Structure 1
């Protein structure tokens, strides 16, 4: 968000300051190109996915000591097309090949159970329903995200199906 505000501020400067100035060496310089060069040093050109929310925890596992899980939610530029996620799952107590990384797109839905201000992340929203995963948080506890069942409900269990924001 800060980068977006900075870009708007710089755009305003570019429009209002497009004139020639003379630097200390007496050489005429275009201020627009100078501002652009300085901006590229502050905001490098890259595949920047924007701000990221990182949730971590250990989810229950039927045949291991737990699944160390890291969910990264990239907000991109705010458009649905730029919403990306990365989900890493490491099965603890297993041999080699115990880590799985899944990357894809997500969408958000408002409301979680009885909380109209809660948020649900639909991971792989653009894939068949069987490949979609659901995580969500309530407005009261935005730093704790829950793995949801296929009906988009918090899994009711004595086991811990939540991740904590880092």
Structure 2
């Protein structure tokens, strides 16, 4: 019986040593290598909108909005919004990243589209942009009721 326990103990020790070697071989790549490459591949097609939005206390907000549609599943819907407040020293840059969802219908246009950025966060952190069905090249800034703030000045233009 003692020999059987000894054999079992030695076998267990050998198996656990080999398991540790295998674990070391299969470590994930450092974040600055593999993970970022995979992340970029999964983001899929990107629509880039740019423009200068009005600002109450600066000369304008230079804005770039990137909408990544991933592989078409909601889990991969990502956005990146970069805003540069111009005309102040120093210029302030803000970048927001997160998830989005969308819904059909913008004001009286049932085929328009409304993007809900940060849809998975509290209402106070959500942002709304949308385009009309007859012009996807122009995306408007919307208020929390999903209404266009100002059709003449509060929009971005599709660049890519």
Which category describes the TM-score, using the shorter chain as reference length?
0.7 to 0.9
Distance in 2 (alpha carbons) for counterparts of 1:107 and 1:123: 7
- Counterpart of 1:150 in 2: which secondary structure? coil
Look at both structures and tell me which one has the larger radius of gyration over its CA atoms.
2
Find the partner of 1:88 among 77, 82, 103. 82
Gaps of 5+ in 1: 1-44
Instruction: Provide TM-score, normalisation by structure 1.
Output: 0.70
- How far the C-alpha of 1:97 sits from its partner, in A, is 5.6
The residue that corresponds to 2:155 in the other structure is 162
Q: CA RMSD in A?
A: 1.3
The residue that corresponds to 2:64 in the other structure is 70
Find the partner of 1:141 among 135, 141, 144. 135
The residue that corresponds to 1:41 in the other structure is none
Distance in 2 (alpha carbons) for counterparts of 1:97 and 1:144: 26
Do the aligned residues in 1 keep the contact of 2:85 with 2:91 (CA within 8 Å)? no
For residues 1-59 of structure 1, give each alpha carbon's deviation from its aligned partner in whole angstroms, at most 9, with x where no partner exists.
xxxxxxxxxxxxxxxxxxxxxxxxxxxxxxxxxxxxxxxxxxxx622210000000000
Select between 54-63 and 94-103 the one with higher mean Cα deviation.
94-103
The residue that corresponds to 1:98 in the other structure is 92
Select between 96-105 and 140-149 the one with higher mean Cα deviation.
96-105
Find the partner of 2:147 among 137, 153, 160. 153
Structure with higher helix content: 2
Find the partner of 1:115 among 109, 124, 131. 109
Distance in 2 (alpha carbons) for counterparts of 1:163 and 1:149: 15
The answer to whether 1:46 aligns with 2:38 is yes
For residues 98-144 of structure 1, give each alpha carbon's deviation from its aligned partner in whole angstroms, at most 9, with x where no partner exists.
00000000000101011111000000000000100000000111100
Q: Number of paired residues? A: 121
